[in-house]
Amino acid sequence: MASLEAAVAARVDLVEFDVGPDLQLAHSAGERPDDELSLDDALAFLAKVGVGVHVDAKAPGYEEALVAALRRHGLEERAVVSTAYGVTTRRLAELAPSLPRAIGYPNDRYGVSRFQWPSQLTRAGAFALRQAMPVRVPLLIRRSHANALSLHHTLCSNAAIAASHRAGAPVLAWTVNDPDDVRRLAALGADAIVSDDPEMARDALGTLIRP
């Protein structure tokens, strides 16, 4: 709860968190925080303070419960659900057609977003994958029935973001913890930036020259 309160204090537009099949906030079953928090408790707090939610589903199979919780707290109109699983986005499209549903890429099952990635060891691989993204993006969106794309920031490029926009899908870049990367992604046309340090991200965006 303290982290949700800190995000609200940082004046974010959306608070992003991971939710497992048991509807507890955690990146995985083996990474539970000491002060566990249920999805219902998190949504009740965020509904009260008027902040939107970005729920990341870590596995398929509990889409109905996620949609029901968002509706129960009146948050369906200011929420986005992301996942790395096309089966989940397709099910969400059936359950709640107007709900923003983002297909995530790549699958973050190993927690890569928490590291300085790519390192020198992985930079060449990330470059090759980034070059392939403009072709991969429309297929990914179409096959998953997603209406948004959640893309690791190292894979974002002008061409990849443009391809997503042509498919009618805004781009959420994750997880961006460096101010230079924030400014780079804004210049590329990313529609949202997911960060562990929202105050830094806001300050970095504030340095940009607006028309």
Beta bridge pairs of residue 193: 173
Edge to edge, what strands does the sheet with 14-19 contain?
Answer: 14-19, 52-57, 79-83, 101-105, 148-152, 171-174, 192-193
* Domain co-membership, 57 together with 1: yes
* Domain co-membership, 94 together with 160: no
* Domain co-membership, 95 together with 177: no
Q: What proportion of the chain, given as a percentage, has pLDDT over 90?
A: 81
Mean pLDDT to the nearest integer, 166-181: 97
Q: How many residues does the chain have?
A: 211
DSSP string, 57-107: E-SSS-HHHHHHHHHHTT-GGGEEEEES-HHHHHHHHHH-TTS-EEEEES-
Per-residue model confidence (pLDDT) at position 108: 58
* Domain co-membership, 123 together with 198: yes
Per-residue model confidence (pLDDT) at position 112: 45
Q: Note whether residue 104 is domain-resident.
A: no
- Rounded Cα–Cα distance for residues 185 and 31 (Å): 29
Q: What are phi and psi of 83, to 5 degrees?
A: -165, 155
Q: Is 55 exposed, middle or buried (0-12, 13-18, 19+ CB in 10 A)?
A: buried
Q: Note whether residue 106 is domain-resident.
A: no
* Domain co-membership, 61 together with 120: no
Using a cut of 0.75, tell me whether the model's pTM lies above it: yes
Per-residue model confidence (pLDDT) at position 107: 81
CATH of the domain at 162: 3.20.20.190
Q: Note whether residue 105 is domain-resident.
A: no
Q: Note whether residue 65 is domain-resident.
A: yes
At residue 166 the predicted structure's pLDDT band, cuts being 50, 70 and 90, is very high
* Domain co-membership, 71 together with 121: no
* Residue 194 domain boundaries: 111-211
- Would you say residue 154 has pLDDT above 70? yes
Per-residue model confidence (pLDDT) at position 9: 96
- Angle formed by the axes of helices 86-95 and 123-144, to 10°? 30
- Would you say residue 211 has pLDDT above 60? no
Q: Are 153 and 108 in contact (CB under 8 A)?
A: no
Mean pLDDT to the nearest integer, 28-56: 91
Mean pLDDT to the nearest integer, 147-165: 96
Choose one of 56, 71, 99: the last residue of a domain. 99
How confident is the model over 78-130, as pLDDT tens digits? 999 999 999 999 999 999 999 999 999 998 554 444 444 444 445 566 778 88
- What is the overall mean pLDDT for the chain? 91
- Rounded Cα–Cα distance for residues 21 and 19 (Å): 7
Structurally, the chain folds into a number of domains equal to 2
* Domain co-membership, 125 together with 173: yes
Q: Note whether residue 32 is domain-resident.
A: yes
Per-residue model confidence (pLDDT) at position 115: 42
